[in-house]
Structure 1
Amino acid sequence: MKRGLIIATLIWTQGQLFAQDHIKISLADVLVKVQESNASIKVSEQEAQMAKYDYRFSNSIFLPQIAVSHTGMATTNPLMAFGSKLNQEILTQADFNPALLNNPDQIENYATKVSVEQPLINLDGFYQRKAAKTTMEAKELQAMRTRDYLDFEAQKAYGQLQLAHRAVAVLQKAHEAANANLNMAQNSYDQGLLQKADLLEVKVRVTEVSDQLKTAKSNVQNASDYLSYLMNEEGDVVYAPSEELIPENLAETTEGSLVDRADIKAMDLVSEAYKANMRADNMTFLPRLNAFASYEMYDDQIFKADAKGYIIGASLSWDVFKGSQRFAKVGKSKTSYEKAKQEYEQYVAKSTMELQRTKRMVEDAKSRLETSKLAMEQSEESLRIRTNRFKEGLEKTTDLLGAEATYAEKQLAYYQTIFDYNQAQSLLTFLTK
C-alpha cells in the first residue's frame, strides 16, 4: 500500500509540473517564429552579408585610390635643403655657393600632396572580382537553403511534440485501465478468488505503465525544449500542439530537378568561384597597367602653398619571375578547382540517392498506415472482450494484462507510423524544393 501511495504521489506531482506554463501553439506559429528568430538563419545571413562586402572590396580594380597628406619637416641635410628650396621655388643664385650647398642653414618645408592611382588593366583582378561575385551568390543561396532546412526541422520538431502528447494520452488511459484492473484484482484477491502472484503481476503492470508515462511526459518536455531552441526563445515551458497528429498530404508533386535546388546551385557556384580564382592566378604572369597622378604644394610655412606642381604618368609593371611562388599558387588553385568539381558531383550523386530513398520511405510508410490502424482496432476489440470476461472470472490475469499492453503498444505504433509518414513526406518536399 505504501508503494502504491508513493507511485500515486509521484504521478500527481509530475502532472502538476507538466501542467505548468502549458502553451498552445500551431505549426504556422512555429514556422513564423523560426524564420524570424532562429540563430542559424541569422548566422547564414551574416555570412552572406560578409561575402557581399568581399565583392564590394573587389571594386578597387575599377575605382581610383585617392590620398591626401600634409608633411612638415626641418632639415640641414644638404640634398634635402637644396631640394626643399627648389620645390618652394625660392632658389636664388646665392644658393649655388659651394659653402652653402655643403653646409646649409636649417630650412623648413611643408608639403601638401594629393595623389591618385587608377588601375587600367589588371586581368588577375577581373577574375578575382568574378570569384568574389560568385561566392556572394553562393552564400545567398546557402542562406536560402538554411531557411528551407529550418522549415523542415521545425515541422519535424512539431511532429515530435504531437507524437509525444499522443503517447502521454495513450499511456494515461493505459494507466487508468491498469489501476482499474488492479482494483478488480484486489477485490478478487480479498474474496479469495485470485492468487497473490496474479495480484502482484497486476501491480507490476501498473508500475511499468507509470514508468512509461513518466518517460512520455519527459519526451513532451524535450520536444518543447527543442522547439524553444529553434524559435530562439527562453523559458521552461511545455508546448501543446493545437493540431492533431493525422496523416498529411504534404508532397503532392515530387517531380523536381535537383539542379534547381538552392544548395546544389550553391555548390556549383562554389566550383565556379574556384575556377575564377585559378584563372586569376594564371593572369598574374601578365603585366599590369596603372595610371597615377599627384598634385603637390610646398611652402616654408604650415598650411600655405606658394609653390605648386603636378605629376601625371602611367606604369606598366611585369613580375617576370618570383621564385616558384606563382607556379605553386597556380598548381594549388587548379587542384582546389578540381576538388570542388568532384565535391559537387559527389553531392549531386548523394542527393539523388537520398531523394530515391525518401520516395521509397513515403511509399513504405503509406502502406504501413492502414496495417497499423487495423492492428490497433483489433487489439482494442480484443481488450474489450478480455476485460468483460475477466470481470466474470472467465479470463486469466496474464491474458488481460497482455491484451492491455498490446492495445497500448498498437496505439503507440499507429501514431509513430503517422509521424513517420508525415516526416517522410516533409523530407521529400525538402529534397525537391
Structure 2
Amino acid sequence: MKRLYVLMIFFFAQGQFFAQEQVKISLEDVLIRVQESNTSIKLSEQDAKMAKYDYRFSNSIYLPQIAVSHTGMATTNPLMAFGSKLNQEVLTQADFNPALLNDPDEIKNYATVVSVQQPLINLDGFYQRKAAKTTMEAKELQAMRTRDYLDFEAQKAYGQLQLAHRAVAVLQKAYEAANANLNMAQNSYDQGLLQKADLLEVKVRVTEVSDQLKTARSNVQNASDYLAFLMNEQGNVVYEPSEELVPDNLDENMHVSLENRADVKAMDLVSEAYKANMRADNMTFLPRLNAFASYEMYDDQIFQADAKGYIVGASLSWDVFKGSQRFAKAGKSKTNYEKAKQEYEQYVAKSTMELQRTKRMVEDAQSRLQTSKLAMEQSEESLRIRTNRFGEGLEKTTDLLMAEATYAEKQLAYYQTIFEYNQAQSLLTFLTKE
C-alpha cells in the first residue's frame, strides 16, 4: 500500500507539472509569431538585402569616382627635383645650370590632387547591372516564398500539435476504459467466473495502452518543441491548441498560373540574370570609353597652393586579345544560361506535377474522411454493447479487449485522416499562392 501511495503521489505531481507548463495558443498567434521571429525568414531577407547592395554597387558604371589626395616629399633626384620646381612654377634661368641639374639641392614638394573618373561607354557594365537588378528581384521573390512556406509549415506543425493532443485524449479514455475492464475482470476472477489467463490478458492490455499513452505525450512535447523552434522561442513549454482538430473548408476556386507564383518567377529571373551575364561577357570584346580629369595644386610648403593646373581627357581602351580568357569565360556564361533555362523548365514541370498530385491528395483524403468517421462510430457502438455484455458475463474477455482496441484505433485513424485532409488543403493553398 505504501508503494502504491508513493506512485499515486508521483503521477499526480507529474500531472500537475504538465498542467503548469501547458500554454494555450491559437493558429493565428502561431502564424504571427513565425512571420515575426522565424530565423529562416530573417536569413532570406538578409540574402535579399545583400543582393540589393550588389545592385547598388553596379551604380559605378554611371556615377563618377572622385578622389582627393595630399602628398609630401623631399628629393635630390635630378628629374624629380626639376619637375617639382616646374610644377611649383618657381623655375628660374639659374636652374638650367648643368651643375644644378645634375646635382640639385634637396627639394620639398607638396601636391594636392582632386581627380575625377567618369565612365562613358562600358557595355559589359550595363549588362552586369541588369544581371544584378534581376538577381535582386529574384532574391526578393525567394524571400516572399520563404514566408509562404513558413506559413504552410506553421499550419502543419499546429496540426501535428492538435493531432498529438487528440491522441493523448483518446488514449487517456482508452486507458481509463482498460482499467475499468480490469476491475470488472478482477471481480469476476475473485468470484471464480474468470480464468487467470483472461485476467492477465486484461492486465497486458492496460500495460499496452499505458505505453501508447506515454508515447502520445512524448509526441505532444515533440510537436511543442518544433512549434517553438519555428517561432524562435526558447524554453521547455508544452503548447495546447485552443482550436479543435476539425476538417477545414476547401476553397474550390483555386485556379493559378504557375508562372505567376513567387518561386517560379524567381527561377525565371535567375535565368534572365544568367542571360545578362552572358551578354556582359560577350561585350568585353568591345572597347571602353572613359573620361578623366584632375585639378592639381603644388607648393614647397604643406597645405599651400601657389601653383595650380588641371588635366582633362578621355580614354578609349580596347583589350584586343587576352589569351583565351574571354572566350572561355563567354563560353562558360553561355553554358550557365542554358543550364538555368533547363532548370527553370524542369522546375515548372515538377511544380505542375506536385500541384496535380496534391489535388488528388485532397480528393482522396476527403473521401476517406467520411469512411473513417463511420468506422469510428460503428466501433464505438460495438464497444458499448460488448462492455455491457461483459459486465453480465455474456462476452469473452478477448472480444471485449479487441473491441476496445478497435475503437481506440478507429478514433486515432479518424483524427489522422482529418490531419491529412487539412494538410493536403494547406499544401494546395501553398502551391497555388501567387
User: CA 1:121–1:22 in structure 2 vs 1: closer, same or farther (change >3 Å)?
Assistant: same
CA distance in 2, matches of 1:24, 1:250: 26
CA distance in 1, matches of 2:118, 2:69: 18
Q: Are the aligned partners of 1:41 and 1:146 in contact in 2 as well (CA < 8 Å)?
A: yes
Displacement, 1:68?
0.1
Question: What is the match of residue 381 of structure 2?
Answer: 381
Q: Are the aligned partners of 1:88 and 1:306 in contact in 2 as well (CA < 8 Å)?
A: yes
Question: What is the match of residue 278 of structure 1?
Answer: 278
Q: Are the aligned partners of 1:18 and 1:217 in contact in 2 as well (CA < 8 Å)?
A: no
Q: Are the aligned partners of 1:295 and 1:311 in contact in 2 as well (CA < 8 Å)?
A: yes
Query: The residue matched to 2:254 in structure 1 has which SS?
Result: coil
Q: Deviations over 1:182-239 (max 9, x none)?
A: 0000011111111110000000000000000000011111111111001111110111
1:407 and 2:410 correspond: no
Q: Are the aligned partners of 1:55 and 1:132 in contact in 2 as well (CA < 8 Å)?
A: yes
Q: Are the aligned partners of 1:185 and 1:194 in contact in 2 as well (CA < 8 Å)?
A: yes
CA distance in 2, matches of 1:181, 1:6: 24
Question: What is the match of residue 336 of structure 2?
Answer: 336
Which residue type is aligned with residue 176 of structure 2?
E
Which residue type is aligned with residue 67 of structure 2?
A
CA distance in 2, matches of 1:93, 1:189: 135
Task: Summarize the alignment of residues 250-269 of structure 1 with structure 2, pairs less than 5 Å apart.
Answer: 250-269=250-269
CA distance in 2, matches of 1:18, 1:205: 25
CA distance in 2, matches of 1:150, 1:3: 49
Which residue type is aligned with residue 52 of structure 1?
K
User: CA 1:120–1:140 in structure 2 vs 1: closer, same or farther (change >3 Å)?
Assistant: same
Question: What is the match of residue 145 of structure 1?
Answer: 145
Percentage identity across aligned positions?
88
CA distance in 2, matches of 1:127, 1:422: 47
Q: Deviations over 1:149-199 (max 9, x none)?
A: 000000000000000010000000000000000000001111111111000
1:46 and 2:61 correspond: no
Question: What is the match of residue 242 of structure 1?
Answer: 242
Question: What is the match of residue 24 of structure 2?
Answer: 24
Displacement, 1:253?
2.1
Q: Aligned-residue CA RMSD in angstroms?
A: 1.4
Query: The residue matched to 2:268 in structure 1 has which SS?
Result: helix
Question: What is the match of residue 309 of structure 1?
Answer: 309
User: CA 1:427–1:141 in structure 2 vs 1: closer, same or farther (change >3 Å)?
Assistant: same
1:350 and 2:350 correspond: yes
Displacement, 1:305?
0.3
CA distance in 2, matches of 1:196, 1:251: 57
User: CA 1:378–1:7 in structure 2 vs 1: closer, same or farther (change >3 Å)?
Assistant: farther
1:429 and 2:423 correspond: no
Displacement, 1:13?
5.2
CA distance in 2, matches of 1:362, 1:241: 24
Q: Deviations over 1:128-167 (max 9, x none)?
A: 0000000000000000000000000000000000000100
Question: What is the match of residue 103 of structure 1?
Answer: 103
TM-score w.r.t. structure 1 length?
A: 0.98
- After the TM superposition, which of the residue ranges 251-260 and 182-191 deviates more from structure 2? 251-260
Task: Summarize the alignment of residues 28-427 of structure 1 with structure 2, pairs less than 5 Å apart.
Answer: 28-427=28-427
Q: Are the aligned partners of 1:122 and 1:289 in contact in 2 as well (CA < 8 Å)?
A: yes
User: CA 1:191–1:3 in structure 2 vs 1: closer, same or farther (change >3 Å)?
Assistant: farther
TM-score w.r.t. structure 2 length?
A: 0.98
Q: Deviations over 1:77-104 (max 9, x none)?
A: 0000000000000000000000000000
Aligned residues: 433
Displacement, 1:325?
0.5
Displacement, 1:254?
2.0
User: CA 1:137–1:380 in structure 2 vs 1: closer, same or farther (change >3 Å)?
Assistant: same
Displacement, 1:251?
3.3
Query: The residue matched to 2:256 in structure 1 has which SS?
Result: coil
